[in-house]
């Protein structure tokens, strides 16, 4: 195997696939990056079996072949090479020689035979989705996936497609985030649960342009095809929780509030709350205004936020972190908070946009 490639392009490809490379694996080859010639392009692969990323880059291929190069070393070496063309040659015994201007590096590598085969995704009709919509869906929901493995299924996000409607849902029991959207091209109804971690990596790789991502779902895997980059993630098997059941339809207290004003008040209250053990903020909802208070050993905060109240006054407490994480992903200028009692879920939605729903469970306080 022998090729020449620009340091810049090659490094870009390495950095794309690197986030999927195992840091520690029973299969040593998985700690490497698979480099393969494919006609007149170069294919790089990083994988930890749960998530695999393939990136393609142009190169001048002199001799076909494949090799697995230790990922961490390769990244560091290529990063430090001068911005020029370099030559990559596989020698005998899986040794690799990298020549760039006046530098020559040789590396002990693995045979490509030791690299596990990537899953085959059966050809089926792909889902075409707008890239910005996909990024928004991931950004606005995946922070709410469960972090512990008490219910493994909840460490994933549910992606639901029905005709032109698409929805992504994450919930950990304490909160639920639901983002709906509309696609340009309809697709058959389908449901898949994708690990939150995989989606996080995908969002990092997706460049912000107007192109479409095509998603193919098979029984065990899901493929995100961006053209030059392909991402394959394992899916979580099992039944997702019937989330629509959890979202209450009625309310007794409805608060309309300016998102920016609420966010800055909450940020100040959080500063003090997070010094305490329970990271608690209290809301006292009255006519025309909502009082936000927090206190801990280091001090206290009192905030008054102007609101429009519909229904009953209410006192309720929340984990400040959960509240802030929700506010951070809402882009709309005005939101509406619906409450029933101070021990039942609060539903938050932008006023003019029902594509986003967030559900937040309060903290019960015993005196």
Partner 1 sequence: MNRKERIILHIDVNSAFLSFEAVHRLQHGATVDVRKIPSAVAGSQATRHGIILAKSLPAKAYGVKTGEASWEAKQKCPGIVLIPPDYPLYMCCHRALVRLLKDYSDKVQVFSIDECFMEAPGMLMKEESIRFAHRIREHVRQELGFTVSVGVSTNKLLAKMGSELKKPDAVSTLFPPEVGKKMWPLPVEDLYGVGRAAAAKLHRYEIHTIGDLAETDVKLLSYLFKSYSRDHGQMLWEYAHGVERSDIMTSGPPTKSIGNSCTVHFDVEDRETAHAVLLSLAETVGMRLRLANLCGRVIGVSIRKSGDLVTYSHQVKIQSSIDCTDAIYEYCRRLFDAAWKGEPIRGLGVWVNDLSSSGYIQLSALEKDWDEKKKVDRTVDAIRAKYGPFSIVRGNFVQSGLAPLAGGAGGDAGFPVMTSIL
Q: How far apart are CA 155 and CA 236, in angstroms?
A: 9
Of 72, 151, 164, 252, the one binding partner 1 by CB under 8 A: 151
Among the residue ranges 168-176, 215-223, 258-266, 288-296, the one whose residues contact partner 1 (CB under 8 A): 168-176
Any contact of residue 176 with partner 1 (CB under 8 A)?
A: yes
State which of residues 173, 238, 299, 306 lies at the interface with partner 1 (CB under 8 A): 173
Rounded Cα distance, 188 and 142, in Å: 24
* Binding residue (CB under 8 A) for partner 1 from 71, 121, 193, 359: 359
The least CB distance from residue 364 to partner 1, in Å, is 5
Q: Comparing C-alpha atoms, which of 156, 215, 229 is closest to residue 187?
A: 215
Taking phi first (over 0 means left), then psi (-120 to 50 degrees means alpha), and beta for anything else, what does residue 10 get? alpha
Q: Does 203 bind partner 1 (CB under 8 A)?
A: no
For 44, the token pair is 């790089």
Q: Which residues contact 162 (CB under 8 A, 6 or more apart)?
A: 189
Which of helix, strand or coil describes residue 102? coil
> Is 174 one of the binding residues for partner 1 (CB under 8 A)?
yes
With CB under 8 A as the contact rule, which of the stretches 64-72, 105-113, 209-217, 358-366 interacts with partner 1? 358-366
Closest separation between CB of residue 251 and partner 1, Å?
16
CA atoms of 292 and 289, how far apart (whole Å): 10
Choices 64-72, 148-156, 182-190, 251-259 (CB under 8 A): range interacting with partner 1? 148-156
C-beta neighbour count of 138 within 10 angstroms: 25
- Closer to partner 1 by CB, 14 or 176: give it: 176
171 touches partner 1 (CB under 8 A): yes
Nearest to 336 by CA among 348, 344, 324: 348
d(CA 153, CA 173) in angstroms, rounded, equals 12
361 lies in the site for partner 1, by CB under 8 A: yes
Residues 228-257 that bind partner 1 (CB under 8 A): 241, 246
Q: In sequence order, what are the beta bridge partners of 318?
A: 281
Give the residue with the Cβ less far from partner 1, 115 or 339.
339
Site string for partner 1, 315-334 (x = CB under 8 A): --x-x---------------
- Residue 120 CB-density burial (10 A; 0-12 exposed, 13-18 middle, 19+ buried): exposed
CA distance 155 to 309: 36
**Looking only at residues 268 through 297 of this chain, which bind partner 1 when binding is defined by CB under 8 A?**
277-278, 280
Binding site for partner 1 (CB under 8 A): 148-151, 171, 173-174, 176, 241, 246, 277-278, 280, 317, 319, 343, 345, 359, 361-367
């Amino acid at each position: 195997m022998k090729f020449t490639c620009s340091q810049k392009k090659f490094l870009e490809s390495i950095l794309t696939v690197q986030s999927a490379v195992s840091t520690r694996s029973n299969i040593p080859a998985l700690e490497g990056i698979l480099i393969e010639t494919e006609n007149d392009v170069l294919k790089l692969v990083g994988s930890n079996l749960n998530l695999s990323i393939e990136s393609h880059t142009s190169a001048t291929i002199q001799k076909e072949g494949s090799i697995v190069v230790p990922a961490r070393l390769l990244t560091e070496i290529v990063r430090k090479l001068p911005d020029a063309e370099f030559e990559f040659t596989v020698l005998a015994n899986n040794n690799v020689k990298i020549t760039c201007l006046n530098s020559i590096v040789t590396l002990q590598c693995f045979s490509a035979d030791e690299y596990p085969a990537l899953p085959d995704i059966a050809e089926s009709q792909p889902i075409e989705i707008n890239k910005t919509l996909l990024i928004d869906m991931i950004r606005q929901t995946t922070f709410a996936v469960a972090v512990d493995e008490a219910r493994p299924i909840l460490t994933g996000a549910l992606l639901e497609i029905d005709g032109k409607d698409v929805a992504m849902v994450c919930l950990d029991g304490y909160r639920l985030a639901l983002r709906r959207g509309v696609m340009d091209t309809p697709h058959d109804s389908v449901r898949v649960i994708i690990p939150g971690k995989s989606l996080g990596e995908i969002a990092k790789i997706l460049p912000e342009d107007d192109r479409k991502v095509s998603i193919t779902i098979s029984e065990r895997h899901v493929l995100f095809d961006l053209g030059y980059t392909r991402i394959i993630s394992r899916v979580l098997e099992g039944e997702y929780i019937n989330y629509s059941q959890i979202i209450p339809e009625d309310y007794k207290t409805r608060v309309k509030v300016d998102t920016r004003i609420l966010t800055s008040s909450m940020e100040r209250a959080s500063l003090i709350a997070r010094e305490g053990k329970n990271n608690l903020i209290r809301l006292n909802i009255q006519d025309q205004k909502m009082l936000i208070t927090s206190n801990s050993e280091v001090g206290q905060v009192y905030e008054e936020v102007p609101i429009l109240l519909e229904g009953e006054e209410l006192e309720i407490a929340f984990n400040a972190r959960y509240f802030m994480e929700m506010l951070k992903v809402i882009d709309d200028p005005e939101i509406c908070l619906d409450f029933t009692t101070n021990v039942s879920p609060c539903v938050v939605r932008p006023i003019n946009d029902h594509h986003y729903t967030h559900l937040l469970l309060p903290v019960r306080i015993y005196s």
